Structure 1
Amino acid sequence: MSSCAPVKTSPAIASLGDIAGEARAWLLEIAAPLWSSTGRLDKGLFVERLTLEGQGDDAPRRLFVQARDIYAFGEIGRLGWNGPWQDLCNQTVDYLLAHGRRADGLFIHSFTTDGAVHDGRADLYDQAFMLFCLGHASRALGRPELLAAADQLMAALDAGWRHASGGFVEKDIPRPLRHQNPHMHFFEAFSALYDISGQEAWKARAEEMARLCRDHFIDPRTGALLEYFTEDLIPAPGPEGQIVEPGHCFEWAWLFEKLAQWGWADARAISDRLTAFGRTYGISPVHDVAINEVTLGGDVVKSSARLWPQTERLKIALARLRRLDTAEEAEEARRAFRGLQLYFDMPVPGTWRDVLNADGSFVLQPAPGSSLYHITCALAELLDTYEGRAG
């Protein structure tokens, strides 16, 4: 979701120009050509990941990755890439609708490498990203019928996947604990669908997810976001109930900044507390990157650092910069971008590392296509903020 309002140029924002140019060149001139060609299948699907040699492998194609890539190339096109982004997005969204939608209106979990159904179960996380994709594709491609498809998917979720304690159940692929993460992406999807369609029902759903987070997911003492819960949304017993992911603190904080624009009185206060916790306990003092997991008390659980928390750190810094217009937030945005760039130093330009170890080494593994969504969203925020582009 990239929906920055135009901003007046100020010294703090103008100082982002050095990194904005780098971001635009890398995304549009290096990453987009690679992932739209080598990262593409004849069937109209994107590859799941690229190897260290820059080739697609035979991993099953998860639906949420396809949905994310449709969003990513729609944004890349909006930002000015002159490649065939419309053809890519149209082909993939049409394939998902034709071959990924089940009789009950929900979407399957994954495809094989040749485009057949690999896992026909419906995953809650996937449904959130399909809603997100349909909204963004409707706007990017000028296809209002995709909003009708989003309505149909939402009706299927309302019919059988609501949970009595709030939120949604993970019905086909049950897990021992309830997770906040799918609900965060429903919040993101509902917010985007409201911005795109103007339909009040989507706004009401987004606010429902915001209240769920405020009332259940956020620890009232620390302002930190918890990850795992019992069926009735009480923090999980044992160590799982103490886990905080700094990246998710930043991601929810960024979403609450959107809610503040709608007039939610306490949205900015929630965003500020989430951001403060993430910055206080979730940034490695050695590598200046956002790490994976800490406890409510701020103790490090996983000192490794995946790529995606770096993008969320950047997004919330930019949102706060637009609101506060301070040199401190501009500097935090620069630091977050430089941290993200560490992951782009690859033998095949346009691919990325995913996991930075505590000792400064990277895990050697294929570049996950799922990260293109995170990267594109963050770099679009950067370019929109610097250039004053309307989202």
Structure 2
Amino acid sequence: MLNSALSSCQAFVFDKLLPHWASYGLDIAQGYSYESMHHDWTRNQTGRLRLLTQCRQLYTFSHACLLTNNEAWQAKLPSLFDFITTHYFVDERWIFSLNDDLSIQDTQSDAYALAFILLSFSYYYQFSQDERALPYMEKTHHFLLGHMTATTGGFYEAFPVDEKQIRRQNPHMHLLEGYIAAFNATGANDYKDTIRSLLDLALEHFYHKKSQTLREFFTTDWQPDPNTGHQVEPGHHFEWVWLLYQANAIFPNSNYTDLAQQLWLTATRHGMASNGGIYNQIDGNHYQAIDKEKRIWPITEYLKAITVIPIGKEEKIDRLIRALDFMQCHYFLENGRWNEYLDEHNQAKDYPLPGTSSYHIFLGLTEVIIWAQLNTGFNGLR
């Protein structure tokens, strides 16, 4: 049953979603990705083109090219890389966004987006061996250390720095992801050192021991924010589970795997709706759902977590089948489209296709495919 469900989901991603985005979501003349698409695969002009969106598309197609021999996707990678470096790297740092006419819009350097420079350029380099990616990764790393490091630990949200801004775990989580990719691609010890510091930050500040939850929003000195510090996202629990096991392969440490297992228990006990899917948000103090809607990305992070968490094979397969069936029933649509949001009753909301979401869909399914190839004899990607 798993292999059948997985075959259908693999076909959705690799035969529908990615080909349609490559055909309709990438500008033919200049190669950049549109920010958003309507469900008829026409461009949804949002008034901005974020660096984040370009990087997530570069990552997704670079990783897909490492897994498949798709020459059409391979041909699009250099122009996407060139567009990013030409339009977003200004005065030796990365800017946040462009206008629809490709003029500069927001000149902030955003920590969340910088994480995806590291991730996307790592995978682009691994596939293309284009060594131009390496100095950009190094400059990104040194800019973070030199201009965005907070005296209380971690990184500020953006540059220019506002020292009074609310601190968030989310950019740090993605920086961990980016630095793991950068280390795996290059073996550079500088990246390894930052991985360790981000892991220490998670253990010391992000994890709320009393409630056994991962908190999202903090004051400047890493106390839970008085207004939003109780908010917890189960999807981020699952995302951290997967990342902690990736990090443990670099720094074997039971503290990381113990944390991963506790985050898994909390999220599976309190973050999963009885009618299927993953809640967007729960109260970390009382475990009640705050936001019962279900965006697509949390369930893709749940898939990733299942592949690494140490539970029995039979339970893994059962969880994977249920999650994949739910996605096919409620999220995946014809022609590579998807429902971005469900309400609490699993009814789809009217919402366009964000250029950032295919990263989640692709990676979640890819991790399951790789696990199934190793553990169930699934005849997946070749």
Same fold (TM over 0.5): yes
Task: State the match for 1:57 in structure 2.
Answer: 44
Structure 1 residue 98 and structure 2 residue 86: aligned?
yes
Within 2, Cα distance between the matches of 1:368 and 1:198? 33
CA distance in 2, matches of 1:244, 1:21: 33
- Equivalence for 1:37: 23
- RCO comparison, higher one (Cα < 8 Å, 6+): 1
Confirm or deny that 1:269 pairs with 2:258: yes
Query: For 1:1-391, what aligned pairs fall within 5 Å after superposition?
Result: 16-41=2-27, 42-59=29-46, 60-80=48-68, 82-103=70-91, 105-170=92-157, 171-172=159-160, 176-238=165-227, 240-262=228-250, 263-286=252-275, 288-296=276-284, 297-320=286-309, 323-346=310-333, 348-388=334-374
Q: CA deviation at 1:89?
A: 1.7
SS in 1 for 2:93: coil
Q: Which amino acid aligns with 1:241?
A: G
SS of the equivalent of 1:118 reads strand
1:325 deviates by: 4.5
Q: Structure 1: which 5+ residue stretches go unaligned?
A: 1-14
The number of residue pairs the alignment matches comes to 371
- Which amino acid counterpart does residue 349 of structure 2 have in structure 1? V
Q: What code does the residue aligned with 1:130 have?
A: I
Structure 1 residue 43: Cα displacement: 1.8
- C-alpha change, 1:173 and 1:155, in structure 2 (3 Å) is closer
2:195 and 2:67 map into 1 onto residues whose CA distance is 26
Work out the percentage of aligned pairs sharing the same amino acid.
Answer: 25
CA displacement 1:326-357 (0-9 Å, x = unmatched): 211221122222233345443x5211111110
Q: Aligned partners of 2:144, 2:77: CA distance in 1, in Å?
A: 24
Residues of 1 paired with 2:370 and 2:139: CA distance?
Answer: 32
> Residue by residue, what CA displacement relative to the aligned partner does 1:339-390 show, whole Å, maximum 9, x if unpaired?
33345443x5211111110132221011111001001111110111112399
Q: Cα RMSD between the aligned structures?
A: 1.9
Deviations 1:9-50 (A, max 9, x none): xxxxxx632222112211111111100011111221111111
Stretches of structure 2 lacking an aligned partner (at least 5 in a row): 375-379
Retained in 2: the 8 A contact 1:177–1:228? yes
Q: CA deviation at 1:137?
A: 0.9
Residue 377 of structure 2 is matched in structure 1 by none
Instruction: Kindly provide the CA deviation profile for residues 160-199 of structure 1, in whole angstroms up to 9, marking residues without a partner as x.
Output: 1110011111234858411110000000001111111111
Deviations, residues 226-271 of structure 1 (Å, cap 9, x unaligned): 0000001111114x11110000000011101112223122111111
CA contact (8 A) 2:62 2:120 kept: no
1:343–1:70 distance in 2 versus 1, CA, 3 Å: farther
The answer to whether the Cα contact below 8 Å between 2:280 and 2:293 also exists between their aligned partners in 1 is: yes
The change in CA–CA distance for 1:20 and 1:361 in structure 2 (over 3 A counts) is closer
Between 269-278 and 328-337, the greater mean CA deviation after superposition: 328-337
TM-score, length-normalised on structure 1?
A: 0.90
Q: Cα offset for 1:87?
A: 2.1
Secondary structure, aligned partner of 2:290: strand
The Cα of 1:121 is off from its aligned counterpart by 2.1
Match of 2:214, SS? coil
Deviation of 1:118 after TM superposition, in Å, equals 2.5
Query: Deviations along 1:307-339, whole A, 9 cap, x unmatched?
Result: 10010011101122xx44421122112222223
* Structure 1 contact 110–120 (Cα < 8 Å) conserved: yes
Q: Which residue identity is paired with 2:106? A: D
Contact in 2 for aligned 1:217/1:227 (Cα 8 Å): yes
SS at match of 1:266: helix
CA contact (8 A) 1:48 1:368 kept: yes
